[in-house]
Amino acid sequence: MSAPRRIQVSQSGGVSVVTFRDSKIIDELAISELGQELNALVEVDARKKIVLNFSNVEFLSSAALGKLIGFEKKVKNTKAELMLTNIRPEIYEVFAITKLTKLFTIKDDEADALAVL
């Protein structure tokens, strides 16, 4: 696979930290690419501990949320661990309303997530 266009991946110990490059994840093509890049982390790279850092993200479409839910299922199926961090209050509110706060483990910041994983 070519270099990721939608995400940036770094390592912190045994944890893969994924930072989103886009501030608004709404475009259908971007969401599709994002889904492929995220899925490759577990399907191709076999990463077992993943932190998704939302610090750059200002807006997520419902289709983007759908991709995240699909990714969470893939992560569980491979017995990997996933945490979300740095979610802006307005986006967190959407997670809360849609009960995604029950599906995902969400920490305030990357350091908190890394301390747990």
pTM metric for this prediction: 0.95
Q: Does 1 reside within a domain?
A: no
For the chain, what is the domain count?
A: 1
Length of the chain: 117
Model confidence at 2, pLDDT cuts 50, 70, 90, reads low
What CATH number should be reported for the domain holding residue 69? 3.30.750.24
> In this model, does residue 20 exceed pLDDT 80?
yes
Residue 48 has, within 13 A of its CA and on its CB side, a CA count of 4
Domain that holds residue 92: 7-112
Q: Does 2 reside within a domain?
A: no
Q: Does 78 reside within a domain?
A: yes
Q: Does 44 reside within a domain?
A: yes
pLDDT tens, position by position, 60-106: 999 999 999 999 999 999 999 999 999 999 999 999 999 999 999 99
Q: Does 102 reside within a domain?
A: yes
Q: What is the mean pLDDT of residues 25-43?
A: 96
Q: Does 72 reside within a domain?
A: yes
- The rounded distance, in Å, linking the Cα atoms of 93 and 97 is 6
